[in-house]
Structure 1
Amino acid sequence: MAKKILVIGGSASGPKAAARARRLDFDAEIIILQKAHDLSMASCGYPYYVGGFFDDRNQLLCTPTGVVRDPVYYMKAKNIIARTDTEVTGIDRKAKKVTAKNLLSGETETYEYDKLILAMGATPRMPPVPGIDLDGITTLQSMPDADYLRKVRDEGKIRKAVVVGGGLIGIETCEALQLAGIKITVVEMLPQILMFLDWQLAKILENHVKAHAADVITDNAVSAFLGDEKGKLRAVKLANGDEIPCEMAVVAIGVVPNTKIAKDAGIETGRTGGITVNEYMQTNDPDIYAVGDCTEIPQRLTGSNVHAPYGDLANLEGRVAGENAARGNIVTFPGTIQTGVCKVFDFSAGSTGISKAQAEKLGYRNVVSVTTSGPDKPGFMGAKILINRMIADGDSGKILGFQCIGMADASKQIGMAAMAIMGGLTVDQLVNADLPYAPPFSLAIDNIVACAHALQNKIRGLMEGCSAVEVKAKLDKGEKPFIIDTRSPEEWEEMRLGVGEHLIPVGALRHRLNELPEDKNTEIITYCKISLRGYEAARTLIANGYTNVKVMEGGLMAWPYHREK
């Protein structure tokens, strides 16, 4: 008798699970129940559809060959029954039945299963403040949301909008609407945007967003949405009392796992609110699997469960659950190291693994990090700067985390770092990574390898670094380190910090040591555009007996504060 595999949810992980099950069991009866009208939506593409990067909404729903993945496609191409506009209302685990409501006819339907896969996704988190139901407040979580915001873009009637939330979706939505000529204000209640980055890198990105005519307000929450006499949004009120006039607000403060039906059926959830699963993506019911944004999964470095609503993970989880539902528990999913990347106007930004602060909270006693800046390829091939931060365990040398932002493609660096972390590589191994090289694509010493070189130097005591944040803190406290800009006079005239630094080009340093403080214990900080020359200068000073020399990591490119020029 053919096995009955039932999938609840038709966005990303559900169809992936169904397709995998079909490839491994040609006789199974496989049914997808989807509340929405559309199937297999490329939800990560919503901001780019809204922003006008492409115009055909079907590109969010189609295969690489251009065929829309609708119920007809699933039946013809995969022999999978897909019921859209069908809302599941209950799960009877004892009888192995699911009840659902046909949203078009209103009729109640019943489906039997041998194996059930829950792929119910998540719903937008909404702030519990007055006015949340006003006309003009939306999210960007569904195809109808994307259709609405694309209509707003195309009509060009709305001129001012607020994006509530400075995370991935919030910043991508900011760009999409700003490209439509709408004046945007991003409001983030936390001290920075893009919390997956350390503050310094996030601040550089914030400056970039502001340079594109979008305002950013951090450390300030929304306290209310204010409407007019017709019930339409007219302003967003902040916790500090300020009001931001606007005609639309997009709420992007995260999502909540859809678990009510599962919990009502006795399926266990965890500390993040997501359905708990084992390595086979199996719930506490051996015949029920759960995948995607409705679950919580292990963070491979911390050991604790996290809610990780990422499209790539959803597909990987769906593949595992589909195979196990079809053939028994054969394959496993180990969890996530929380790798992500996003586009921020002309910048890209991403991270993988854990931050220095997270590593220290986990009990690592000797966490070492470094920030570097450098070109992605030779200058004669149109180089663009990337700013990297690498974190490692100073005792074992194992790489724990990596962050990258810049005008070049950060995804390449993040991807290499993710593989290094998952492979348990040490800094000493990464410094000799055999990576592809050709001038159109990379440097002879790739950007990520150069970052590993700098971190190795710190671990071996060959370089003492300090971040731009630490340098600024010293100056704000009234400390007066002797700061040397090692660039050329031409570079100095074009751009400089203006913090009392001394211009001594690295090529002239050996002949101008008499200009340095007589006390060789004086704190000296060196830097250049990216601090490669700063490091060379530091080694020169150490060789000449100076004992308290630091390199400002990342140089001018990693300075997140105001510059004199």
Structure 2
Amino acid sequence: MGGSIMGLGLGSPMARSSSVIHGVIRRFASTRMVDIIGKRIAVIGGVAGGASAAARARRMSEDAEITVFERGPYVSFANCGLPYYVGNVIKSQDKLVLASPELFMKRYNIRVHTNTEVMRIDTRGKVLVVKKTSDDSGESSVWLHPYDELVLSPGATAIKPSIPGIDLPGIFSIRTVPDSEHVRQYIEDTKAKSAVVVGGGFIGLEMAENLHHLGLKTTIIEGLPQVMAPLDAEMIAPVHDRIRASGSELLLEEQVTSFERKDTGGPITVTTAAGKTIESDIVIMSIGVRPVVDLAKAAGIELGRKGGISVDASMRTSQPHIYAVGDAIETENVVSGEHELVPLAGPANRQGRVAADNAVTDRQVRFRGVQSTSVCGVFGLTVASTGLSEKTLKKLGREYAKVYLHPGHHVSYYPGAKTIDFKLLYDPKSGQVLGAQGVGEEGVERRIDVLAVAIQGKMTVFDLEEVELCYAPAYGSAKDITNMAGMVAANFIRGDHPTLHADQVQLGDYFLLDVREQSEFQAGHIPNATNVPLSELRQRMDELPLDRPILCYCAVGQRGYNATRALMQNDFEVYNLSGGFRTYMAAKAANLLLE
């Protein structure tokens, strides 16, 4: 369906003349066929958002003519699996390809053009100018494709900073299946023994873990004081410890200033602003992505303040009959109301469905927004979060309270219990859940998933107290971590549990009471603390001051809470140190303690 000027070579005078192409568009738009039964749906870009939009559009309409244009060789692939393909955890490239053009045609009657680029969107004529490389010789053809409704899913591209030597062979970014194949082949061909990963975000850490899995000596260079910037610094302290314990090197607050290769086939010298040099056989750049918006911008589509395509809750752009989804768009955070760029597959899939429903039906479907729920494996640890972090809440100037817990992922008496470091953020007045973060070896993602649903449902910490979850000794506790977090927060709001945090108070202003056993105290304690074990507290209360506030703590907070309740009922001014000595040490490692 659609006019064709397939013989128009891009090197010809005609192709070089924009006025000629504009004239063809006008003539084509005035004479194109309009007697088709269903709508013509065009989708630019595949992967999560575009492929989901196309498939959903077919499920909503058997009459629509649906065409997908993908500039890469694969229309639907698992880009989240790319690091694991590099690490040979995923053995076959075929496992990454979720659907081929042939499958789209046979299963959905959707025509897919891969290795095809949309050069221009004519919004008035509702026509696309499309270019395809026809063969390995580089010969190309151009044609015009009409649309009634258009879905943009151009994605994002890896940020490539202007660093001397950035284009040297052996320096890669990972965004596509061919990218990962090139990295695998390079490691094999060069017999690489060492790697530098620049950037400590999700993809960077997954790449570092998989390169380590292959046996490469790996160095991670991160410009910030912590890896995984979306999480709060004290929550990442155990991640830093785990990376270093693996034998990998972690350089924080370091900026790469140059890459150099002195000998052909020799190692790459990576130099930082501090003058440190690292010799590496391969370098992976993973410092973030930026939305691909050139096509949209040229079509007069409005961009948001973060540089992404601006859409409403229906996924409509500022141009009629054009929708946008995925990594290229800005969308509203359900907690903060702020617009964000969230390059995650889950939201992209849901956005594709919303765009398709609105494009081909009379339904008024809306996208609720994002909350940045994410999970990452880091050298045997699981790191997950949802909602707003404390640093974001501070930036927004929003009032909040927090809870730290360090329970086992199941009951302690059942073998194999693993500690989860857990943080809950909530509104101190209403109790509404604002965010959560967890780090541990087992059971982390399950708890964060529960909190993600709680945020969607605008639930409060009082609701968390009552949430009924699965329990058996091998899977959890009768009071799940989610319940306990709600109980601790609810007790604070009710006034039953006065709580302070190590990073929010001057510890020297308080009488520090360590209620752990003497052996625990001797193994390590907060400076100037007095040790009165909880088991002896009721008999030794006369040793404590009534004219000075007491800040008590234990290992993780539970004994401190019991001590606080006992002292409160004996007329002491007392507070519990949230998360106990474990959180104190994490805050200290993150340089968060007030001096």
TM norm. shorter chain > 0.5: yes
Give the superposition deviation at 1:120. 0.8
Paired amino acid for 2:386: T
Per the TM alignment, residue 188 of structure 1 is displaced from its structure 2 partner at its CA by: 1.4
User: Which residue identity does 1:385 align to in structure 2?
Assistant: T
| Counterpart selection for 1:10 from 35, 38, 46 | 46
TM-score calculated relative to the size of structure 1: 0.91
Alignment-derived partner of residue 93 in structure 1: 123
1:76 correspondence with 2:110: no
Instruction: Summarize the alignment of residues 511-526 of structure 1 with structure 2, pairs less than 5 Å apart.
Output: 511-513=539-541, 516-517=543-544, 519-526=545-552
> What 5-or-longer segments of structure 1 have no aligned partner?
63-68
CA distance in structure 2 between the partners assigned to 1:372 and 1:488 by the alignment: 20
The partner residue of 2:69 within 6, 15, 33 is: 33
Secondary structure of the residue aligned to 1:22 is helix
Distance 2:312 2:156 in 1: 20
Rg bigger for which structure? 2
Structure 1 residues 415 and 275: CA distance shift in structure 2, 3 A: same
Contact kept? 1:349, 1:405, Cα under 8 Å: yes
Q: 8 Å contact 2:525–2:581 — kept in the other structure?
A: no
> How far apart are the structure 1 equivalents of 2:350 and 2:475?
29
CA-CA distance at 1:460 after TM superposition: 2.4
Specify whether residues 231 and 111 from structure 1 end up closer, same or farther in structure 2 by C-alpha distance, changes over 3 A only.
farther
Contact 1:526 1:534 in 2 (8 A): yes
Counterparts in 2 of 1:339-378, with a 5 A limit?
339-364=373-398, 366-378=399-411
Alpha-carbon distance in structure 1 between the residues aligned to 2:393 and 2:403:
14
User: What's the CA shift for 1:380?
Assistant: 3.0
User: Cα distance 1:212–1:8, how it changes in 2: closer, same or farther (>3 A)?
Assistant: same
- Which residue identity does 1:423 align to in structure 2? G
Aligned AA (2:104): Y
User: Which deviations, in whole Å up to 9, do the C-alpha atoms of 1:5-55 show, x marking residues without a partner?
Assistant: 111112111111000000111121111111111121111111222223221
Partner in structure 1 of residue 33 of structure 2: none
1:218 to 252, 255, 258: 252
Q: Secondary structure at the match of 2:47?
A: coil
Matched, 1:510 2:543: no
Bigger CA drift: 205-214 or 313-322?
Answer: 205-214
Matches within 5 A, 1:224-373: 224-230=258-264, 234-328=268-362, 330-364=364-398, 366-373=399-406
Equivalent residues of 2:436, 2:451 under 8 A apart: yes
Moved more, 226-235 or 175-184: 226-235
- Residue identity in the other structure for 2:318: N
Work out whether residues 552 and 574 of structure 2, in 8 Å CA contact, stay in contact via their aligned partners in 1: no
- From 134, 156, 161, the counterpart of 1:104: 134
Cα drift, residue 525 of structure 1: 3.5
How many Å separate the matches in 1 of 2:44 and 2:371?
27
Q: SS where residue 406 of structure 2 aligns?
A: strand
Is this contact kept in 2: 1:538–1:551, CA < 8 A? no
Separation of aligned partners in 2, 1:398 and 1:89: 47
Is the contact between residue 135 and residue 232 of structure 1 (CA under 8 Å) also seen in structure 2? no
Q: How many pairs were matched up? A: 548
Structure 2 unmatched ranges of 5 or more: 1-35, 590-595
Structure 1 residue identity aligned to 2:309:
I
| Structure 1, 325-334 or 86-95: larger mean CA deviation | 325-334
Given that 1:279 and 1:332 are in contact with CA atoms closer than 8 Å, whether structure 2 keeps it comes out as yes
Structure 1 contact 4–29 (Cα < 8 Å) conserved:
yes
Could you tell me which of 201, 209, 228 is aligned with 2:243? Answer: 209
Letter in 2 for 1:417: L
SS of 2:360 mapped into structure 1: helix
AA partner of residue 228 (structure 2): L
* One-letter identity of the residue aligned with 2:94: N
| Residue 66 (structure 1) aligns with | none
Relative distance call for 1:128 and 1:520 in structure 2 (3 A) is farther
Give yes or no for contact 1:373–1:555 (8 Å, CA) kept in 2: no
Q: Of 398, 406, 416, which aligns to 2:450?
A: 416
Q: Which position in structure 1 is the counterpart of 2:563?
A: 537
> Is contact 1:138–1:251 with CA below 8 Å preserved after alignment?
yes
User: Which of the residues 551, 560, 565 maps onto 2:577?
Assistant: 551
- Report how far residue 430 of structure 1 moved: 1.7
Q: Deviations over 1:101-158 (max 9, x none)?
A: 2123312232111111111111001222222111111111111121123335556822
Contact persistence 1:387–1:558 (CA under 8 A): no
Partner residue of 1:527 out of 550, 553, 568: 553
Aligned pairs (5 A) from 1:391-540: 391-469=425-503, 474=507, 479=508, 482-488=511-517, 496-497=524-525, 499=527, 501-513=529-541, 516-517=543-544, 519-540=545-566
- Hey, what's the Cα distance between the residues in 1 that align with 2:546 and 2:186? 64
Residue 470 of structure 1 deviates from its aligned partner by 5.2
- Indicate the percent of aligned positions where both proteins have the same amino acid: 35
- C-alpha deviations, 1:189-217, integer Å up to 9, x for none? 12211111111001221112111112222
Q: Distance in 2 between matches of 1:137 and 1:447?
A: 43
State the shift of 1:459 in Å: 2.1
Q: Contact between 1:526 and 1:552, CA under 8 Å: does it hold in 2?
A: no
| Equivalent pair of 2:41/2:66 in contact (CA under 8 Å) | yes
- Whole-Å Cα distance in 1 between the matches of residues 551 and 192 of structure 2? 50
Distance 1:144-1:49 versus aligned 2 partners, 3 A rule: same
Deviations 1:461-510 (A, max 9, x none): 32233334458x74xxxx385544434456567x5347455544322222
- Choose 220-229 or 250-259, whichever is displaced more: 220-229
| Aligned residue runs from structure 1 range 177-216, under 5 A | 177-216=211-250
1:164 aligns with 2:198: yes
Give, in whole Å, the separation in 2 of the partners of 1:134 and 1:411.
39
Deviations 1:436-464 (A, max 9, x none): 22222211011011011111222223223
Give the aligned residue type for 1:93.
Answer: T
RMSD: 2.3
Q: Is the 8 A contact 1:134 1:231 kept in 2?
A: no
Q: Secondary structure at the match of 2:250?
A: strand
For 2:57, the equivalent position in structure 1 comes to 21
The alpha-carbon distance between structure 1 residues 47 and 485, as it changes in their structure 2 partners (threshold 3 A), is farther
Contact 2:310–2:330 (Cα < 8 Å) also in 1: yes
1:53 matches 2:89: yes
